[in-house]
């Protein structure tokens, strides 16, 4: 139980930083490309400005990433033994292909200003961006295998899962769709950060000229991303319905199989299978989400439970329904709200307009939180919705934990949570400080007159 | 060479790479309060490793990932067995990573002092604990028939393993001093060299006794040869440092680290974690490994991408090959002085 809490806390926390790293590196690469193409100094200032925010965020993403890799062995050693043949490979490949790429070229990008030729320096940030995306792909392939195991067999003698088809693991439909869903989410994250930070300055009439391109880039990225999230989310829902019927039923707290099935915006009372007190329902929508037809049949929790009990033996195969129900709604709700705000923003800033509505800028600034909330609830939904399974239909979470003492896990849970809490405060403080400082002036390259070497253009 | 042996070698290579590279940036972190006299000098020290420390740390992540992929039982037993030391290492690496990035982000002296302390502690703790961990792996720990570690935390603090910890601590500190002498100019360079001259004596004594103990108890001919090479590397570093040949001194400490790490792996082979409970329960490159198919796939990936990684990481060191000194450090980049670089 403690190990679950630890994994949940560290993973959700880690994922605060990851999408911003993925999305922001790409948007910064785009801004820097725009600068090299046009020579417009506003873009360079934006690159340096958002570059700083990116680095503050990246530090925590990396630091918490190490925990992610270590805790499989520390807390989930039985799981690691069982699935290591399959699960370890994407992790190792992620390190070799992605982590080296992003960390090495990020070092080159940070310290390479004025020292590398401009085009090579630009290539560095693009390589960082590619590295972050590769990283996402491999770790999601590993996660997708837990949601929908493919390309393996169970070795009876050792009772371990053995890899039989690595290509199948990498091309797992769950992995591919989760990758695109996460990638589009990353752009919503980063887009809303650009929007929110720019809006903060717009509301005060500062840097309006410099930040306008970033604002528009952020708005466009957010809208395209929201559209992408809807499409990939929709495909994901259908894949999920066929691969993990329990999760779809749990998303709606649908106890009895229905055809067509309605989607409730919210419900009071019936989440534990009891009598419904009050709910607002849209007919047929759950059928559409799950099957693509408004009249499709969606299996209810009770039927899936009966089916799984006959397949895997007696026991409860239900996740915690109120958690899955609400996290599913909050994910969609916060995501849609972000997209809606971006759409409004794009309309009001069309053709060079800068609206006077201060309340709108304030909303934009607070909207930075929306994608963070949406994605956190998304992960809570997909991981909690898989329970009691660690690997769906193969290994339960209970079977996966280490034989370490509760005291040890409790120690690490407390230490890591406290440390993460402190670091979150520091990170947010720094982000605010730098975001409020605004884009820096660009100093003309200081050509030293006395023939000595120029100073470093960047230093810690 | 079988695939199991090949992956044992790969993991040994990854640890060698990790210790050689992160070894010097641990050393720089440990020496931060000793060698630097003011904030500008501290920034010189930190900036010698600034562009590369993160890439160096990835060697650890890849070593961990490769162990998980190629020897999942080893990964599972090691990481769950050495739970608290690994937690300490994790916490240290986290605060160190954040400290590098955040210390310069505010101008206040108290803020920087706090993060400097994090850099130093975050470097010293892993430098010590990696040696303790490897000492225990080589020495053997209680492991039962189900490959579970049964020793608890205090079993890990035995004299041999602690000497191993002092070995990595002293050698990495020396490695950092030699690196700083090679990468800085002016006063700091002189001080780093003088300090390296003293540290190398400590390192020879500590590492020498650890390797001798290793050979006496677990010795093999190949291991003894490697241990002698490690000792020779340290002596070469001593001589080169005296003569002011900083490049050669760094090569000497690097060779010593590779040779000493290889000694440990050679001593282990074919075990990966010997059991002191019963030799029959020891984890070996065979009973701890993944399936042949997984090892094949991993081999293909490793053979293609490792040279590429070495190439571009090597290029980074080439790009940042220049020495730096106090005159290279730009004005403060914290927001109070608006206009600093990115």
Residue A396: phi and psi, rounded to 5, are: -85, 160
Q: Give B174-194 as a 3 state SS string.
A: HHHHHHHHHHECHHHHHHHHH
- Mark yes or no for CB contact B342/A51 under 8 Å: yes
Confidence band of A293 (pLDDT split at 50, 70, 90): confident
Q: How far is A199 from chain B (nearest CA, A)?
A: 20
Is residue B300 within 8 A of residue B306, CB to CB? The reply is no
Looking at chain A, which residue has its C-alpha nearest residue B303? A96
- Mark yes or no for CB contact B101/A88 under 8 Å: no
What is the token pair recorded at A259? Answer: 């055809």
State the CATH number of the domain containing residue B56.
Answer: 1.20.1630.10
- Mark yes or no for CB contact B105/A430 under 8 Å: yes
B131 found inside a domain: yes
pTM for the structure as a whole? 0.87
Element (H, E) at A161: strand A160-163
B335 found inside a domain: no
A111 touches chain B (CB under 8 A): yes
Q: Span A56-73, mean pLDDT?
A: 84
Q: Span B258-277, mean pLDDT?
A: 90
- Mark yes or no for CB contact A111/B342 under 8 Å: no
Which residue from B62, B70, B91 is facing A95, i.e. has the nearest CB?
B62
Q: How far is B93 from chain A (nearest CA, A)?
A: 7
Q: How far is B243 from chain A (nearest CA, A)?
A: 28
Q: Is the confidence at residue B73, as pLDDT, over 80? A: yes
What is the token pair recorded at A248? Answer: 């779809």
Stretch among A111-120, A153-162, A415-424, B186-195 having the lowest mean pLDDT? A153-162
B69 found inside a domain: yes
Q: Span B317-330, mean pLDDT?
A: 84
Number of inter-chain CB pairs under 8 A, A vs B: 269
- Mark yes or no for CB contact A415/B58 under 8 Å: no
A109 touches chain B (CB under 8 A): no
Calculate what percentage of chain B has a pLDDT beyond 90. 55
pLDDT tens per residue across span A73-85: 888 888 888 888 8
Looking at chain B, which residue has its C-alpha nearest residue A46? B342
Who contacts B324 (Cβ-Cβ below 8 Å, separation ≥6)? A456, B44, B47, B48, B183, B184, B185
Q: Is the confidence at residue A372, as pLDDT, over 60? A: yes
Residue A438: phi and psi, rounded to 5, are: 85, 170
Q: How far is A115 from chain B (nearest CA, A)?
A: 8
B341 found inside a domain: no
Q: Span B234-245, mean pLDDT?
A: 90
Helix/strand number for chain B, H first, E second: 11, 2
Confidence band of A277 (pLDDT split at 50, 70, 90): low
**What is the reported pLDDT for A269?**
62
Judging contacts by C-beta atoms under 8 Å, the chain A residues touching residue B305 are: 96-97
B3 found inside a domain: no
For helices A41-75 and A173-203, angle between their N-to-C axes, nearest 10 degrees: 130
**What is the reported pLDDT for A371?**
86
| Distance between first and last Cα of chain A | 41
B334 found inside a domain: no
Nearest residue to A364 via CA among A191, A229, A152: A191
- Mark yes or no for CB contact B50/A60 under 8 Å: no
**What is the reported pLDDT for A155?**
81
Q: Is the confidence at residue A455, as pLDDT, over 70? A: no
- Long-range pairs for A177-180 at CB < 8 Å and ≥24 separation? A177/A232, A177/A235, A177/A236, A177/A239, A178/A140, A178/A143, A178/A144, A178/A147, A178/A236, A179/A136, A179/A137, A179/A140, A179/A141, A180/A228, A180/A232
From the candidates B18, B68, B317, which should be mutated to test the interface with A, based on the most A CB atoms within 10 A? Answer: B68
> What Rg do the C-alpha atoms of chain B give, in angstroms?
21
**What is the reported pLDDT for B338?**
37
Mean pLDDT, chain A, rounded, equals 83
Scan for tokens 């590492």, then name that residue. Answer: B207
**What is the reported pLDDT for B339?**
36
pLDDT tens per residue across span B145-154: 888 888 888 8
Number of structural domains (chain B) is 1
**What is the reported pLDDT for A33?**
93
Q: Span B51-69, mean pLDDT?
A: 90
Q: Span B73-84, mean pLDDT?
A: 89
B42 found inside a domain: yes
B340 found inside a domain: no
Q: Show the domain range for B81.
A: 10-328
A168 touches chain B (CB under 8 A): no
Looking at chain A, which residue has its C-alpha nearest residue B39? A460
Judging contacts by C-beta atoms under 8 Å, the chain A residues touching residue B100 are: 59, 460
Nearest residue to A333 via CA among A282, A265, A427: A265
**What is the reported pLDDT for A448?**
47
Hey, how many other C-beta atoms are within 10 angstroms of the C-beta on A398?
A: 13
Element (H, E) at A263: strand A263-268
Q: Span A329-348, mean pLDDT?
A: 86
Sign of CA dihedral A22, A24, A27, A28: negative
Residue B324: phi and psi, rounded to 5, are: -125, 155
- Mark yes or no for CB contact B68/A87 under 8 Å: yes
Q: Span A165-192, mean pLDDT?
A: 88
Q: How far is B255 from chain A (nearest CA, A)?
A: 23
Is residue A226 within 8 A of residue A55, CB to CB? The reply is no
- Mark yes or no for CB contact B80/A97 under 8 Å: no
Q: How far is A123 from chain B (nearest CA, A)?
A: 13
Q: Span B91-106, mean pLDDT?
A: 90
More confident residue, A117 or B335: A117
Q: Is the confidence at residue B336, as pLDDT, over 60? A: no
């Amino acid at each position: 139980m403690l190990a679950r809490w630890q994994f949940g806390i560290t993973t959700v926390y880690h994922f605060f930083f990851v999408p911003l790293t993925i999305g922001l590196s790409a948007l910064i690469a785009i801004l820097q490309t725009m600068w090299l193409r046009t020579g417009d100094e506003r873009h360079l200032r934006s690159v340096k400005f958002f570059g700083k925010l990116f680095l503050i965020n990246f530090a925590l993403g990396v630091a918490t990433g190490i925990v992610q890799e270590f805790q499989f062995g520390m807390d989930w050693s039985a799981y690691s033994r069982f699935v290591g043949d399959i699960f370890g490979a994407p992790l190792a490949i992620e390190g070799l292909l992605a982590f080296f790429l992003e960390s090495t070229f990020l070092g080159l990008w940070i310290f390479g200003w004025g020292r590398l030729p401009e085009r090579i320096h630009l290539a560095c940030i693009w390589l960082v961006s590619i590295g972050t995306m590769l990283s996402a792909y491999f770790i999601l392939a590993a996660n997708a295998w837990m949601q929908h195991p493919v390309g393996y067999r169970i070795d009876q003698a050792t009772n371990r899962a053995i890899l039989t088809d690595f290509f199948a693991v990498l091309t797992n439909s769950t992995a591919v769709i989760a990758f695109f869903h996460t990638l589009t989410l990353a752009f919503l994250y980063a887009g809303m950060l650009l929007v929110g930070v720019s809006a903060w300055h717009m509301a005060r009439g500062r840097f309006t000229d410099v930040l306008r391109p970033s604002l528009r880039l952020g708005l466009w990225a957010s809208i395209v991303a929201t559209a992408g999230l809807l499409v990939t989310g929709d495909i994901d829902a259908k894949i999920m319905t066929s691969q993990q019927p329990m999760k779809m039923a749990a998303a709606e707290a649908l106890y009895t199989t229905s055809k067509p099935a309605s989607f409730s915006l919210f419900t009071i009372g019936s989440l534990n299978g009891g009598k419904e007190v009050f709910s607002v329902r849209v007919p047929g929508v759950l059928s559409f989400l799950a099957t693509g037809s408004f009249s499709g049949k969606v299996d209810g929790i009770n039927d899936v439970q009966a089916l799984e009990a006959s397949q895997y033996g007696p026991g409860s195969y239900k996740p915690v329904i109120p958690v899955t129900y609400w996290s599913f709604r909050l994910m969609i709700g916060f995501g849609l709200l972000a997209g809606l705000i971006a759409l409004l923003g794009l309309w009001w800033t069309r053709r060079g307009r800068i609206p006077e509505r201060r309340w709108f800028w304030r909303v934009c600034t607070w909207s930075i939180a929306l994608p963070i909330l949406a994605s956190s609830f998304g992960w809570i939904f997909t991981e909690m919705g898989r329970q009691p399974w660690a690997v769906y239909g193969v290994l339960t979470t209970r079977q996966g934990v280490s034989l370490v003492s509760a005291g040890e896990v409790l120690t690490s849970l407390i230490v890591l949570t406290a440390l993460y809490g402190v670091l979150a405060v520091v990170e947010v403080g720094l982000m605010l400080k730098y975001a409020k400082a605004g884009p820096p002036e660009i100093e003309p390259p200081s050509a030293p007159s006395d023939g000595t070497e120029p100073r470093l253009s960047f230093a810690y | 060479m079988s695939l199991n042996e090949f992956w044992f070698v790969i993991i040994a290579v990854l640890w060698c790479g990790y210790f050689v590279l992160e070894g010097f940036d641990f050393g720089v972190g440990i020496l931060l309060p000793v060698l630097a006299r003011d904030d500008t000098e501290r920034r010189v020290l930190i900036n010698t490793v600034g562009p590369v420390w993160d890439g160096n740390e990835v060697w650890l992540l890849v070593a961990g990932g490769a162990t998980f992929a190629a020897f999942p039982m080893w990964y599972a037993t090691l990481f769950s067995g050495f739970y608290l030391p690994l937690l300490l290492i994790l916490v240290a690496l986290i605060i160190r990573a954040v400290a590098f990035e955040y210390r310069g982000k505010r101008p206040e002296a108290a803020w920087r002092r706090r993060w400097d302390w994090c850099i130093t502690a975050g470097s010293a703790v892993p430098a010590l604990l990696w040696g303790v961990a490897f000492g225990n792996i080589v020495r053997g720990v209680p492991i039962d028939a189900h490959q579970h570690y049964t020793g608890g935390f205090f079993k890990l603090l035995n004299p041999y393993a602690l000497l191993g910890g002092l070995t990595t601590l002293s050698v990495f500190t020396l490695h950092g001093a030699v690196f700083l002498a090679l990468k800085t100019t002016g006063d700091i360079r002189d001080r780093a060299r003088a300090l390296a001259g003293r540290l190398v004596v400590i390192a020879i004594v500590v590492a020498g006794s650890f390797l001798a103990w290793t050979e006496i108890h677990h010795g093999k001919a190949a291991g003894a040869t490697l241990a002698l090479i490690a000792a020779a590397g340290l002596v070469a570093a001593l001589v080169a440092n005296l003569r002011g040949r900083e490049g050669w001194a760094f090569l000497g400490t690097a060779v010593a680290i590779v040779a000493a790490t290889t000694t440990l792996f050679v001593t282990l082979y074919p075990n990966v974690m010997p059991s002191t409970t019963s030799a029959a329960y020891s984890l070996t490159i065979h009973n701890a490994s993944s399936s042949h198919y997984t090892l094949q796939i991993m081999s293909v990936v490793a053979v293609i991408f490792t040279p590429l990684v070495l190439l571009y990481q090597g290029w980074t060191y080439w790009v940042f090959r220049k020495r730096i000194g106090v005159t290279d450090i730009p004005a403060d980049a914290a927001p109070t002085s608006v206009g600093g670089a990115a």
